[in-house]
Amino acid sequence: MTPQTPTPTIVVVGHGMVGQRFLEALAERGVTSRARVVVLCEEPRPAYDRVRLTSYFSGATPDDLALVPPGFLAAHSIELRLGDPAESIDRAARTVTSRAGVTFGYDTLVLATGSYPFVPPVPGKDATGCFVYRTIEDLLAIEEYAMTARTGAVVGGGLLGLEAAGALKGLGLDTHIVEFAPRLMPAQVDEGGGAALLRTVESMGLSVRTGVGTSAVTADADGNVTGMTLSDGSSLATDLVVFSAGVRPRDQLARDAGLAVGERGGVVVDAWCRTSDPAVFAIGECALAADGRVYGLVAPGYEMAVTVADVLAGADREESGFTGADLSTKLKLLGVDVASFGDAHGAAPGSLGVVYSDARAGVYKKLVVGQDGTLLGGVLVGDADLYGTLRPLTGSVPPVSPERLVLPAGVGAPPALGPEALPDDAVICSCHHVTKGAICACSSLPEVKKCTKAGTGCGSCVKAVGRLLTAHGNGPADQGLCGCFPYTRSELYEIVRTLRVGSYTELLDSHGREGARGGDGCEVCKPTVGSIIASLAPELGVSGYVLDGEQAALQDTNDHFLANIQRNGSYSIVPRIPGGEITPEKLIVIGEVARDFGLYTKITGGQRIDLFGARVDQLPLIWARLVDAGFESGHAYGKSLRTVKSCVGRTWCRYGVQDSVRMAIDLELRYRGLRSPHKLKSAVSGCARECAEARGKDFGIIATANGWNLYVGGNGGANPRHADLLAQDLDDAGLVRLIDRFLMFYIRTADRLERTSAWLERIEGGLDHVRDVVVGDSLGICAELEALMAAHVAGYRDEWAETINDPERLRRFVSFVNAPDAPDPSVKFVPERDQVKPDLVFLTLEGATAR
């Protein structure tokens, strides 16, 4: 009888991003079917996306960040022990003992312990209110403590430091950044890039101190943080401190076991990630690679994970061991694109820099090239759209000059260069080392992600992947917006956003049809482009006020006067009444305004009050009265959010199961002023009886016992359509997050004057595709959509208040330019039911005379 071969045991210490990638690589190679795999995890939850950690503060839940596919561990018989890290290793016995006292024998041990945050050894570093920024538990603790704080300070202005600062600002704290180096992100960007980044960060309301260190953290008698003393002798008052001054390899377990470690930390490994003990491997941030580096990025860690999986699977890695990795990075920090690649600082002898800088727009681009024109590296701040093309070109001579690559459209000839110009062996996804050829062999983005994993790491390659897939498909026929532009509205949206085009004239001259350039445009494209620029104003760095500068000439009559013109030339005024909730005092003000100006009043179906019959010269006077009482524009004149209607919900109704009024108010205040292809209407019903008629709205919400159901794509009108269920039983944060994504995806891809209902029926894949994008993040753009909405919310300003406080803007509100004090005699009324209505007889006579 043949004796059975014992099943080998692989013990993995650590279950972070790299640890999970290692498990996936083992499963892909069939190793999990012939070995026992045990994972010892210190954290109370399985692996999650630490790169997107900060998105927790913008609504992402821990489940959203999870990296372990449902059923993955069970399907591959992987034993995961949460909250039970390894405490000791006995290399002679080949055992690992966990904190719970359980001992596991191993044939192979893989250390994936990652790194730990470095906290400078300053007095007071352990005071109550001091935190690090590394895990979900850290974020939960910061969030709770911030509820009682007003000011926060971040020690460190690197990648994580800026993310931490953005989180504190998002929590409502006055936020300071203290960086010892002379510039922000010193490892990634040069002096020029750091200056551009500093200007943008400070414009967001954050205070930055560079070139100073932290000498001490001060605390009160109870040990609570009260401030910081800096190395230049100055002090900073703060209630909360986050240390983000870098990380160090977590190598203590290896040290205690007698494994070789580097002089400055890190478990020494060879090209196959073996430690000084052949049975022990180390991967990720805890490893000191054969080239003498400790890599703190996810892409090198993933490559190490695959290297070890290949070794354990018996693959021949003699020619492909891990000897180094690409340190290129592309991130969006505080809403700002920042990227660096290759020799970003120009360290190579004889290298030259090609620089474009626009301090006003916060854009800085620098390419480092060799004497022979070889692209060696670069820094991109504020506009990193070409990163996906430039990084793979590093080490070669680009097919166009470096000047054309950095100059924006309108300044020089636009570069006819994209990922399509790259060779098939160019690496597009550095996280998973996926080439252009492998991507082009796929037919869709979901297939790319499934077969190659491109786009599932940091996400910086998603745009390049999309362009490659489009380039290798069938090109659409000319579906240009109008005779002035050969592009659709959604294409113009991407051009404006990507190239940061802040004016209609610039867009027409750079991207209009040949015969239209230099012209005045038409009545189709002018308001369309005006709406696009207004919707992207915070990101473009231009005024969001629709009547500023050139924008005023692009608007139709209603937007031009921030009110709806009526049949007799008068205007209606609609103040915002979120959720239909209004106090008696505000009702009295509306009544007084209507009485004093002789206006007709009407309660609308959207739970608002319309005031009809105002002359154009009366508009600012009426707005001033309303603004003083706490009202703002209801945007009844714009292609934007109109109302979020609600029933009274569980507060008053015996059938209500959720607080529909509160939710309606929150949503209306969040999306007010959001410019879109068509008007937007919404409603929130407190129970399934649907008194607010939510399913007849562009996005409607119906309460359930477990939360909220979200419906999209409904409308009334000539062709009524019931909204479709997008997601159900959502909590508050999950509901808001999905609406953010849905609205921004609609704004990004809909045609001119296309309601959500028509868009949902037109868009390829319909509701299923929209659900894949906004719920499943199939295109990898949800973080971008959420950031766009966050920028809108942060940048919102009431247009009525903006107008009445600016004498220059008030000059347009006159009936006659040459007689600004004279009222328009054609605006006449007659009485009806104790109010007024337009004088139809006068209008008919006037019309006949005019003809």
Is the Cβ–Cβ distance between 502 and 544 less than 8 Å? no
Spatial distance between the Cα atoms of 268 and 260, rounded to a whole number of angstroms: 6
Fold held by 9-116+249-313: FAD/NAD(P)-binding domain (3.50.50)
Rounded distance between C-alpha atoms, residue 259 and residue 280, angstroms: 9
Distance CA 152, CA 159 (A): 17
Domain 639-804 sits in CATH at: 3.30.413.10
For residues 570 and 565, what is the distance between their CA atoms, to the nearest angstrom?
6
290 DSSP assignment: T
440 known ligand binder: no
Closest by alpha carbon to 335, among 503, 205, 462? 205
Distance CA 370, CA 345 (A): 13
Reported as a single tens digit per residue, the pLDDT across 521-574 is: 777 788 888 888 888 887 777 776 766 766 766 766 677 778 887 777 788 899
Q: Are 392 and 426 contacting, i.e. CB atoms less than 8 angstroms apart?
A: yes
Take residue 685 and report the two structure tokens written for it.
């019903």
Among residues 455, 511, 448, the alpha carbon closest in space to that of 480 is found at 511
DSSP state of 322: -
Residue type, 414: P
Do the first three CATH levels of 9-116+249-313 and 130-245 match, i.e. the same topology?
yes
Q: Is 431 annotated as a binding residue?
A: no
Distance CA 838, CA 843 (A): 8
Identify the bridge partners of residue 634 per DSSP, sorted by sequence position. Answer: none
**CA-CA distance, 439 to 670, in Å (whole number)?**
39
Distance between CA atoms of residues 458 and 326, nearest Å? 13
Q: Which CATH class is domain 559-638+818-851?
A: alpha beta
Task: Return the domain boundaries, the chain.
Answer: 9-116+249-313, 130-245, 326-417, 418-473, 489-555, 559-638+818-851, 639-804
pLDDT for position 53: 82
For the range 834-839, what are the long-range contacts, defined as Cβ-Cβ under 8 Å and sequence gap of 24 or more?
835/600, 835/601, 836/598, 836/599, 836/600, 836/613, 837/600, 838/566, 838/567, 838/568, 838/570, 838/613, 839/568
- C-beta contacts of 714-722 below 8 A and 24+ residues apart: 714/756, 714/757, 715/681, 715/755, 715/756, 715/757, 719/757, 720/696, 721/757, 722/695, 722/696
pLDDT for 715 equals: 86
Tell me which residues of the chain have a pLDDT lower than 50: 1, 317, 410-416, 474-478, 842-851
Q: Is 273 part of any known ligand binding site?
A: no
pLDDT for res 407: 74
Q: What's phi and psi for 697, nearest 5 deg? A: -120, 165
Q: Express the helix, strand and coil content of the chain in percent, nearest 5 each.
A: 35, 20, 45
Task: Look up the CATH superfamily of 418-473.
Answer: BFD-like [2Fe-2S]-binding domain (1.10.10.1100)
Which residues are within 8 A (CB) of 844 and not within 5 positions of it... i.e. 6 or more apart?
none
Written as six digits, the tokens of 584 are 């008696």
Output the CATH code of domain 130-245.
Answer: 3.50.50.60
Give the pLDDT of residue 389.
Answer: 76
Q: Which residue spans within 162-286 are E strands per DSSP? A: 174-179, 207-210, 214-219, 225-230, 235-237, 240-243, 247-249, 267-268, 280-282
- Relative to beta strand 207-210, strand 174-179 is parallel
CATH of domain 326-417: 3.30.390.30
Token pair of 694, please? 């939510």
The tokens for 289 are: 């690679």
What is the CB neighbour count within 10 angstroms for residue 845? 11
* 330, 460 Cβ separation under 8 angstroms: yes
Neighbours of 842 (CB within 10 A): 16
CA distances from 354 to 195, 303, 365, 596 (A): 17, 32, 8, 64
User: Count of residues for the chain?
Assistant: 851
